[in-house]
């Protein structure tokens, strides 16, 4: 009995430590997007997350029941042998959790816990001790479906958020106001995390209490002190360790807009809360990541980076078997050395690993100034264009504007053509008038020249009759001189007439 | 060893989460739209953030505030219409908040 009490105390201590690492590892994801969009200061965000995790842990106990009374058939196992198995499972979960936390690998605390427990039970008890129906329906399937579901919901919510606030008249759309909303939704995510994740530890402690005979098996609800201890520990872990998680996030979610973050968080909170209601033990990290990817796709011109998505998915898929392997290894030590020595050696080994990882992590201390988070990879998984393509309505508006512009241009072209035609006609008329004047002047000058020539002829005849004796040469000379003068006079008359006509044309 | 999976529960989770999220986001967005219509476009400058995160600068926030004020001046709505839009905005925010509270109450009561 004393050994059982010793092991129960160790299990509770280790479970609470797991709860602490869960807060360390997962909870800051709730505050990822509000910090990325600048809705909340990192310090305020982490404090808020811690308080709301504390509150959330008191809201529901359905997930706790799934673990304490469902996954493992404790009635078929010897209680004295089962307590060390729980202990070994916790060691597996904590070691994997701490290792992924240190290396910054995508992981899930919840799946690490399930993996550790399943691995330890497989080695320490038997395959029959695990209810694979419950594992499949309440752990594995929700783990596979929940990120996808959260993504679809986030996609729809983002479309709604952008659709309702879209303006076509270039006036402010008010989307900045989503920053206020993000404070509410991120608080909801933190609360939802408390309702789901804190209960996993409650479930493990309750399972240990039932196994040791400190609690009635028919009453699987966690006791109040268990609820309080788990709530307080996860809140403390959140406040103490949020920085490391948030640090990765800052780099990855730079493209998250307030409307998108608001939608992603609403989806995450709604999915986790609804799952908690049904007792599904989900991974907050996976749901939050699914939501971030879904909301990214909800924006226009976005594209999925499948390589990044694949990397995240592989990390998630690895968590359960990897934690199970570590749990199985711890269970093997317990089975090999016996319950008391096995637990003692396991505890010393676990402590050494934890201290080693903690010492290693101190080399790169994380604080409010350089904090980031791991949901960051989800932010990288979707590429959003800086200038997204227009919506259907925007395309219709652009088409209408182009049509009006074309109409205006056609009208202007027609006007220009008509004006040019009128100008050409006017110029032709003027030219015709000028030609007529010129022709008239030429005709008049020709007439005058003929008249003068005729007069000269008459004069020349007269003078030829008078001066026949004076000499032929002189008379001939005079006549030609007079004819030249007459021609010159006629020419000057024509020139004047032409000049007058030109002047008239220019005046017109 | 029989494995029974409650598929209906998955469907219920999906429908409940979808309805809840769309309701909260839709009414909140409607509230913002009405707020803008009332000539009170919200301009929220980002809180202090770490160096790794780039959101909008203070200058950009000021420019947005100026644009919002200009648009508000140009608003052709009468004072009555503006008040009505403001009331509608408050109502939409209230519905959004009530949807959240309703969801939480549902979990606590059960």
A225-271: pLDDT as tens digits: 999 999 899 888 888 765 654 554 444 444 677 888 889 889 999 99
Per the structure, the count of domains in chain A is 2
Convert the pLDDT of each residue in A305-339 to its tens digit: 777 777 777 777 787 788 888 888 888 888 788 77
Select the more confidently predicted residue: B108 or A476: B108
Which of these three, A366, A385, A404, is where a domain ends? A385
Same domain, A59 and A86: yes
Single out the residue in A344, A366, A385 at which a domain terminates.
Answer: A385
> Poorest-confidence range of A70-74, A490-494, B105-109?
A490-494
Q: Could you tell me if residue A274 is inside a domain?
A: yes
**What would the pLDDT profile of A363-390 be if each residue is shown by its tens digit?**
655 544 444 444 445 555 666 666 677 7
Inter-chain CB proximity A172 and B41 less than 8 Å: yes
C-alpha distance from A11 to closest chain B C-alpha (Å): 29
**A400 and A379 in a common domain:** no
Q: Which residues of B touch A42 (CB under 8 A)?
A: 49-50
- Domain for residue A27, yes or no? yes
CA distance A113 to A18: 8
Question: Does A255 lie in the same domain as A203?
Answer: yes
For chain B, the straight-line distance linking the first and the last C-alpha, in angstroms and rounded, comes to 31
Q: DSSP for A165-225?
A: H--SSSS---GGGHHHHHHHHHHHHHHHHHHHHHHHHHHHHHHHHHHHTSS-TT--SPPHH
Q: Are residues A448 and A502 in the same domain?
A: yes
Q: What number of C-beta contacts closer than 8 Å exist between A and B?
A: 193
Q: Is A186 on the interface with B (CB under 8 A)?
A: no
Q: What per-residue confidence (pLDDT) applies to B25?
A: 93
Residues A362 and A426 occupy one common structural domain: no
> Quick one: A377 and A404 in the same domain?
no
What's the pLDDT at B90? 92
Quote the tokens at residue A63.
Answer: 């997930």
Domain stop point among A385, A406, A432 = A385
pLDDT at A248: 46
ipTM for the predicted complex comes to: 0.79
> What's the pLDDT at A372?
43
How far, in Å, are A10, A77, A133, A336, B23 from residue A86 at the CA level? 10, 12, 20, 16, 42
* A170 located within any domain: no
Contact (CB<8Å) A42/B12: no
Q: Are residues A368 and A399 in the same domain?
A: no
In terms of residue numbers, what domain contains A98?
2-165+177-385
Residues A103 and A152 in one domain: yes
Q: Which two tokens stand for residue A271?
A: 């999915």
Residue A347 belongs to a domain: yes
Domain check: are A365 and A425 in the same one? Answer: no
pLDDT band at A506 (very low <50, low <70, confident <90, very high): very low
Claim to verify: residue A246 and residue A364 sit in the same structural domain? yes
Q: What's the rounded Cα separation, in Å, for the pair A234 and A268?
A: 19
Tell me what the pLDDT averaged over chain A comes to. Answer: 77
Exposure string over A48-79, b if 16+ CB within 10 A, otherwise e: bbbbbbbebbbbbbbbbbbbbbbbbbbeebee
Q: How many CA atoms lie within 13 A of A425 on its CB side?
A: 6
Q: Among A13-17, A19-23, A77-81, A191-195, where is mean pLDDT lowest?
A: A77-81
Same domain, A371 and A417: no
- Do both A201 and A101 map to the same domain? yes
User: How confident is residue A29, by pLDDT bands cut at 50, 70 and 90?
Assistant: low
Helix (H, G, I), strand (E, B) or coil at A130: strand
Q: Taking the CB of residue A162, how many other CB atoms lie within 10 A of it?
A: 21
Region of A170 please: left (phi>0), alpha (psi -120 to 50) or beta: left
Q: Residue A91: inside a domain, yes or no?
A: yes
Which of helix, strand or coil describes residue A343? Answer: helix
- Let me know: does A290 contact A157? Beta carbons within 8 Å: no
Q: Which residue of B has its CA nearest to A257?
A: B55
> Is A182 a domain residue?
yes
Map out the domains of chain B as residue ranges: 7-109
Least confident of A6-20, A57-71, A345-359, A412-426: A57-71
């Amino acid at each position: 009995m004393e050994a059982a009490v010793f092991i129960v105390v160790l299990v509770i201590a280790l479970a609470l430590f797991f709860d602490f690492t869960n807060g360390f590892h997962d909870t800051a994801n709730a505050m990822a997007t509000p910090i990325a969009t600048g809705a909340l200061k990192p310090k305020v965000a982490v404090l808020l997350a811690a308080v709301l995790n504390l509150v959330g842990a008191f809201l529901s106990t359905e997930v706790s029941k799934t673990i304490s009374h469902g996954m493992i058939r404790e009635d078929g196992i010897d209680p004295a042998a089962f307590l060390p198995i729980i202990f070994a499972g916790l060691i597996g979960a904590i070691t994997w959790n701490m290792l992924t936390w240190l290396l910054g690998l995508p992981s899930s605390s919840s799946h690490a816990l399930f993996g550790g427990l399943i691995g330890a039970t497989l080695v320490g008890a038997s395959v029959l001790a695990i209810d694979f129906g419950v594992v499949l329906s309440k752990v594995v399937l929700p783990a596979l479906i929940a990120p996808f579901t959260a993504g679809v919901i986030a996609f729809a919510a983002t479309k709604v958020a952008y659709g309702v606030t879209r303006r076509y008249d270039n006036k402010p759309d008010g989307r900045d106001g989503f920053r206020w909303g993000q404070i509410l939704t991120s608080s909801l995510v933190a609360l939802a995390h408390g309702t789901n994740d804190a209960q996993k530890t409650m479930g493990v402690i309750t399972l240990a209490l039932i196994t040791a005979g400190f609690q009635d098996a028919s009453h699987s609800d966690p006791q109040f002190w268990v609820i309080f201890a788990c709530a307080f520990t996860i809140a403390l872990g959140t406040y103490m360790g949020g920085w490391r998680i948030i640090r990765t996030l800052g780099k990855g979610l730079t493209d998250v807009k307030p409307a998108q973050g608001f939608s992603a968080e609403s989806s995450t909170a709604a999915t986790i809360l609804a799952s908690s209601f049904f007792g599904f033990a989900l991974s907050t990290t996976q749901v939050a990541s699914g939501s971030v990817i879904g909301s990214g796709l909800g924006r226009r011109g976005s594209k999925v980076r499948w390589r990044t998505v694949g990397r995240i998915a592989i990390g998630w898929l690895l968590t359960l078997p990897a934690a199970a392997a570590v749990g199985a290894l711890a269970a093997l030590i317990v089975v090999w050395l016996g319950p008391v020595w096995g637990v003692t050696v396991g505890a010393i080994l676990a402590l050494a690993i934890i201290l080693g990882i903690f010492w290693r992590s101190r080399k790169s201390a994380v604080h409010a100034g350089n904090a980031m988070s791991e949901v960051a990879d989800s932010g990288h998984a979707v590429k959003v264009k800086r200038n997204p393509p227009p919506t259907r309505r925007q395309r219709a508006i652009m088409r209408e504007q182009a049509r009006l512009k074309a109409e205006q241009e056609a009208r202007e072209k027609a006007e220009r053509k008509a004006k040019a035609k009128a100008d050409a006609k006017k110029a032709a008329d003027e030219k015709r008038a000028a030609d007529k004047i010129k022709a008239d002047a030429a005709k008049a000058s020709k007439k005058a020249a003929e008249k003068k020539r005729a007069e000269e002829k008459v004069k020349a005849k007269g003078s030829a009759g008078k001066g026949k004796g004076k000499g032929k040469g002189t008379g001939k000379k005079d006549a030609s001189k007079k004819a030249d003068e007459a021609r010159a006079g006629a020419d000057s008359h024509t020139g004047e007439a032409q000049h007058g006509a030109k002047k008239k044309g220019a005046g017109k | 060893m029989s494995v029974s999976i409650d598929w209906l529960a998955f469907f219920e989770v999906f429908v409940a989460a979808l309805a809840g999220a769309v309701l909260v986001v839709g009414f909140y967005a409607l509230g913002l739209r009405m707020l803008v219509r009332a000539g009170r476009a919200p301009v929220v400058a980002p809180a202090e953030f770490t160096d790794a995160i780039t959101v909008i600068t203070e200058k950009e926030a000021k420019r947005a505030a100026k644009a919002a004020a200009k648009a508000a001046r140009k608003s052709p709505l009468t004072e009555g219409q503006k008040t009505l839009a403001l009331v509608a905005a408050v109502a939409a925010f209230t519905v959004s908040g009530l949807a959240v509270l309703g969801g939480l109450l549902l979990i606590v009561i059960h």
